[in-house]
Every structure is written in structure tokens, then in C-alpha cells.
Amino acid sequence: MNVRYPAGMGLSKQLSVRDRKLVQIVDSALSDAAERSGSWLKCRPGCTQCCIGPFPINQLDAARLRQGLSELEFRDPERAQRVRERARDAVETLSPEFPGDAVTGVLDETEEAAERFDAFANDEPCPALDPESGTCDLYAARPMTCRVFGPPVRSEGGLGVCELCFEGATAEEIAACQLRVDVEKLEGPLVKAIERADGHRANTIVAFCLR
């Protein structure tokens, strides 16, 4: 029998506590960066450009999302059901060209698969996005990629920033607003811990995680 990885993994109580601390640290750093960014930052409810097109999420992101969906089911079952329906519809749409195992939802890690992913479903909205309100139904449980999007973020490729933000800003002004936290360094030990608990490593996307 095939085991669907994205639907099977959860957060233990200890990992859940550590993840909440991680989220608090990142959210605090994001708030500070947003304050320094001021009017350069255009992020607001209804701005959904960053919600279109899939991106890889790790096991920690996936577990947090499923936990968030479970909590939403308790508070608002109809809203949670709409998220699940959008996720199932997305999986049906994405499966034929999915650069990985469409049964398990696990992404391939080859260079060829990475190239395919770059051009994969760039117009597909995230299942967690409410198309009517333009807001995220799982905002409190969103992946780290979503959580740090907006202010400038330092990576191997340099200083990345949303193309809708910082229009007309100089390189120095952008650098002064960058996120002052190493998310990968903080997140890494928790990802490894959940990988050890689950017994394997694999990335997926939001649609397969929430179906």
C-alpha cells in the first residue's frame, strides 16, 4: 500500500513547542523589518501575487500547515472543507506534470526536476488562499517562505525583495530594511528533528500537503 507522506506526518508536542518559538522569533524579526520598511512595503490583504504558483515546503512547514488546518476544522469546519476541496482540485490539476511522485506528493531532487519545477504551474493559486477575500485561510500556520516574504531577505543569491515593494528605493535603502534573522539556521535543527522522527527527508507543495 502506498503511504502518502504529506498526509501522514505530524508535530510531536515537543516539536510543536519549538516550532511556536521559531515562529515567534521570525514574526518578531519580520515586524521589525516591516517597521523599518515603512511605505516601501506594499503587502496588504488582497495582494495575492506571492500566493500564485507552488513552491517547495519542508516537512516542518507541512506539519504546521496540517496542524493549522486541524485547528481550523475545529473553529470553522465549512471554511476548512473549502481549503481541502481547493487542495484536492489543485492536486488533480497539477498531478500530470508534477515534478515528483504524484502519489506521495514528494518532489524529486534531481537537477532536471528542479528545472521542470521552475516552469511548473506558475498560474495555480495556493489552496489556502480564499479567492473571495484575497487572504490566507491558514495564515497563522503558513510556511516560512510565506512568513518572510515582503521585506528584503538575504540568501546565497544576494538580497531578494518582492517586485511590488521598494519601487524607486536605492540599494542602500533596501539593505537597511532587510530581515535581521537567519531563518535557515534557526529552522534547520527542527527540520532535522522531524526528519529523524519521520524516518526520511522529502519536500512537497501545499496542495499535496492539504488534500
Confidence of residue 154 (pLDDT cuts 50, 70, 90): confident
Q: What is the mean pLDDT of residues 112-133?
A: 93
Residue 200: predicted pLDDT: 65
Query: Any idea which of 120-129, 152-161, 184-193 has the lowest mean pLDDT?
Result: 152-161
Instruction: Please indicate, yes or no, if residue 3 is contained in any of the structural domains.
Output: no
pLDDT at 148 over 70: yes
1 within a domain of the structure (yes/no): no
Domain count, the chain: 1
In a domain, 100, yes or no: yes
pLDDT beyond 60 at 3:
no
> How far from chain centre, in Å, is Cα 166?
22
pLDDT-wise least confident of 19-33, 108-122, 167-181, 195-209: 195-209
Residue 4: inside a domain: no
Residue 49 lies in a domain: yes
pLDDT score of 189 more than 90:
yes
The mean pLDDT of the chain is 90
Decide if pLDDT at 199 tops 90. no
Positive/negative CA dihedral, 72, 78, 81, 87 = negative
Listed range (35-39, 154-158, 160-164, 191-195) with the worst mean pLDDT = 154-158
Range of the domain at 20: 9-199
Percent of the chain at pLDDT > 70 equals: 94
Tens of pLDDT, residue by residue over 33-47, are: 999 999 999 998 999
